[in-house]
Structure 1
Amino acid sequence: MPFDSAGCHPGIQQTKRAAWEWAAAGDLVLSPVARKKMIRTRPELWISLIFPEASQKHLDLFCQWLFWAFLVDDEFDDGPAGRDPRLCEGAITRLVDVLDGLREPEGPMENALAQLLARTCTGRPPHWLRQFRRDTAAWLWTYYAEAVDRAAGHVPGTADFVRHRRDSVAMQPFLDLHEITAGIDLPESVRSLPAYIALRNAVADHSGLCNDICSFEKEALLGYEHNTVRLIQRDRGCTLQEAVDEAGLLLGRIADRVQRAEKELVEEIEAAGIQGQPRIALERCVRDYRGLVRGDFDYHARAERYTRPELTETDAQDSLSRNFAA
């Protein structure tokens, strides 16, 4: 890992308490199995490692977003909605409609989303809102794509899956949230710089592959094939250990892509004559994205969800669907 650690936010325990209190106040029901899984997931650790300089207010808010996202992820990865395309489509459509302000929320998960949006989006510029909406909706719809794949008995090729995983890992919305805590505003022109897009994609790709390497044992138990390690093993006809080794090499190459995109972004800033606040904002992204990649890497090495997977097929049936409106 070529990037230095920026440490962990000192407010991690306060953020943890705030997340659980927020979930209880919003009637987000976690069964005993789901509660144990969330404790082992430690969303407060991830958010504190990737945003070590955030204000406590932002740290608490972003952790609640992550808590909610993990509930969504477990519902569609492990629960019945992830295996029934029509059920999945309905649930995702309702969430995206709430995201777009097209309907009133129903049920704890939709109400939690509406509340998070109100606390996050108030006062944000229209171009940021468009970006956050696109990134969040793109993440949510990946669950439907995977549900259809499962129902059709289709397993994607590795190259296609890389593009899918870029959205499904849900890193892009948190890169948007980074702008809030960093106090920066990226104009549309800056967001369109090829090197900035490449940098964001490399950060998301690193997170997705790191997660796949750490999750493949649990996901194999569940028969979940949307995992890079599993796809490498299938495509190359190699052993599982050889697939893990190859994934590790790929992870290093993605870290190289991050560094290459940083260099190209500096060159593009100069070529475009970008000055003032947009330049400061881009330079802040270059600095903070390095720490974000390292924080995500460190999290996967520390959270019990990945270091000591315990989920069984029986546990997977204990879903969180009661939090979704029927």
Structure 2
Amino acid sequence: MPFRSAGCNPAMADTRDTVWHWAGENGLALSPAARSGMLRSRPELWASLALPVASREHLDLCCQWLFWVLLVDDEFDDGPAGRDPRTCGRVIARLVDVLDGAVPHSAMEYALEDLRERTGRGRSPVWTRQFRRDTASWLWTYYAESVERAAAGEPARADFTDHRRDSGAVRLFLDLQEVAAGTDLPESARGLPSYLALRNAVTDHAGLCNDICSLEKEAVLGYGHNTVLLLQRDRGYTLQEAVDEAGIQLSRTTERIRRAERDLAAEIAAAHIEGPVREALRGCARDYRGLVRGNVDYHARAERYTRPDLVRAERQDRLSPHFTA
């Protein structure tokens, strides 16, 4: 990994306490097994590694978003809602409606409303549109996967890379990095080819890293939307060969990030972008690099990925009824 670590945000321990208090205030009561799983997931660790110099307010906000994202992920990946397209589609539609301002009715919807209101304060319509698009696209991937399970029992899509870019929820956290940095890029900056290439490369790296590190956990759960498992299936690899190929792809993705960074510097000059917008774009590239390194370090430290042996024992008592009013 060529990107240097900046370590953890010093407010990590306080943020851990705050996120659990926030969950309780919003009615996100977890079963004992679900609580154990969330403790092993350590959302405060990921947020602190990805945002090592963020203010306490912004670190708390990012950590609360991740706590909520992990709950959604476990509900649909592990629970019955993810196996029933009708239920899944109904729940996702409700969450997207709340994202757009509808009145909430369940604990997860109330928590989303709180996050939406605090996150959107002072943000431009351009940023708000991008964040809404990235968040809704992530949510709808659960419906797509539930339909695939019902139809074929395993992923059948040829465009898995595009699906994975949405399903990891990474893009919404790239958007949140702008909030933490106090920047708000104009539409012209967001349309730079190198900016788009950089976001795609960072998202691909995070997805590949997660697929490699979560392989054992997802195999236990029978979850097939994993790059390694698809490589094994579609190319006739052994599992180790598939892991090795995914590792090669991860290294290539790192090079894509570095190339996009170089292209971004050239395009900033070519487009005569000056002042605050230029500094904001440079800051985005620096923050994205920090997220990539922080994500790698997180996967090496969080028991969600280092202790897959605990998943099977917890699976039956994992979920809580967060989507009921």
Shorter-chain TM-score tier: over 0.9
1:98 corresponds to: 98
1:230 corresponds to: 229
Deviation at 1:156, TM superposition (A): 3.6
Alignment-mate amino acid for residue 116 of structure 2: L
Q: Which runs of 4+ in 1 moved over 2 A?
A: 154-159, 310-321
TM-score, normalisation: structure 1: 0.97
Cα separation, partners in 2 of 1:203 and 1:158, compared to 1, 3 Å? farther
1:214 corresponds to: 213
Q: Does 1:23 align with 2:3?
A: no
Task: Provide the rounded CA distance (Å) in 2 between the counterparts of 1:26 and 1:55.
Answer: 23
TM-score, normalisation: structure 2: 0.97
The 3-state SS of whatever aligns with 2:222 is: coil
Q: Does 1:118 align with 2:117?
A: yes
Contact residue 82 and residue 147 of structure 1 kept, 8 A: yes
CA RMSD of aligned residues (A): 1.3
Alignment-mate amino acid for residue 48 of structure 2: S
1:54 corresponds to: 54
1:183 corresponds to: 182
Cα separation, partners in 2 of 1:261 and 1:158, compared to 1, 3 Å? farther
Contact residue 158 and residue 231 of structure 1 kept, 8 A: no
Cα separation, partners in 2 of 1:312 and 1:8, compared to 1, 3 Å? closer
Task: Provide the rounded CA distance (Å) in 2 between the counterparts of 1:148 and 1:156.
Answer: 10
In structure 2, stretches of 5+ residues that fail to align are none
Task: Provide the rounded CA distance (Å) in 2 between the counterparts of 1:63 and 1:288.
Answer: 16
Contact residue 32 and residue 317 of structure 2 kept, 8 A: no
Alignment-mate amino acid for residue 279 of structure 1: R
Q: Does 1:76 align with 2:76?
A: yes
Contact residue 41 and residue 304 of structure 1 kept, 8 A: yes
Cα offsets for 1:204-246 (capped at 9, x unmatched): 1100110000111111122111000100110111111111111
Alignment-mate amino acid for residue 251 of structure 1: L
Deviation at 1:312, TM superposition (A): 4.4
Alignment-mate amino acid for residue 241 of structure 1: Q
Q: Does 1:263 align with 2:250?
A: no
Deviation at 1:33, TM superposition (A): 0.6
Alignment-mate amino acid for residue 62 of structure 1: C
The 3-state SS of whatever aligns with 1:119 is: helix
Task: Provide the rounded CA distance (Å) in 1 between the counterparts of 2:310 and 2:100.
Answer: 34
Contact residue 50 and residue 292 of structure 1 kept, 8 A: yes
Alignment of 1:31-42 (within 5 A): 31-42=31-42
Contact residue 149 and residue 155 of structure 2 kept, 8 A: no
Task: Provide the rounded CA distance (Å) in 2 between the counterparts of 1:307 and 1:42.
Answer: 12
Alignment-mate amino acid for residue 288 of structure 1: D
User: Structure 1 residues 72-81 or 216-225, which shifts more?
Assistant: 216-225
Deviation at 1:320, TM superposition (A): 3.0
Alignment-mate amino acid for residue 15 of structure 2: T
Contact residue 78 and residue 221 of structure 2 kept, 8 A: yes
Deviation at 1:199, TM superposition (A): 0.2
The 3-state SS of whatever aligns with 1:115 is: helix
1:306 corresponds to: 305
2:135 corresponds to: 136
Contact residue 212 and residue 246 of structure 2 kept, 8 A: yes
Alignment of 1:144-183 (within 5 A): 144-153=143-152, 155-156=154-155, 160-183=159-182
1:43 corresponds to: 43
Deviation at 1:183, TM superposition (A): 1.4
In structure 1, stretches of 5+ residues that fail to align are none
Deviation at 1:155, TM superposition (A): 3.5
Deviation at 1:318, TM superposition (A): 2.9
Contact residue 79 and residue 317 of structure 1 kept, 8 A: no
2:287 corresponds to: 288
Deviation at 1:290, TM superposition (A): 1.1
Task: Provide the rounded CA distance (Å) in 2 between the counterparts of 1:302 and 1:319.
Answer: 22
Alignment-mate amino acid for residue 276 of structure 1: G
Deviation at 1:255, TM superposition (A): 0.4
Task: Provide the rounded CA distance (Å) in 1 between the counterparts of 2:144 and 2:258.
Answer: 31
The 3-state SS of whatever aligns with 2:27 is: coil
Alignment-mate amino acid for residue 122 of structure 2: G
Task: Provide the rounded CA distance (Å) in 1 between the counterparts of 2:24 and 2:190.
Answer: 37
Task: Provide the rounded CA distance (Å) in 1 between the counterparts of 2:264 and 2:219.
Answer: 39
Alignment-mate amino acid for residue 32 of structure 1: P
Task: Provide the rounded CA distance (Å) in 2 between the counterparts of 1:314 and 1:7.
Answer: 33
1:86 corresponds to: 86
Deviation at 1:286, TM superposition (A): 1.4
Number of positions where the alignment pairs a residue of Structure 1 with one of Structure 2: 325
Deviation at 1:2, TM superposition (A): 1.1
Cα separation, partners in 2 of 1:204 and 1:268, compared to 1, 3 Å? same
Deviation at 1:317, TM superposition (A): 3.6
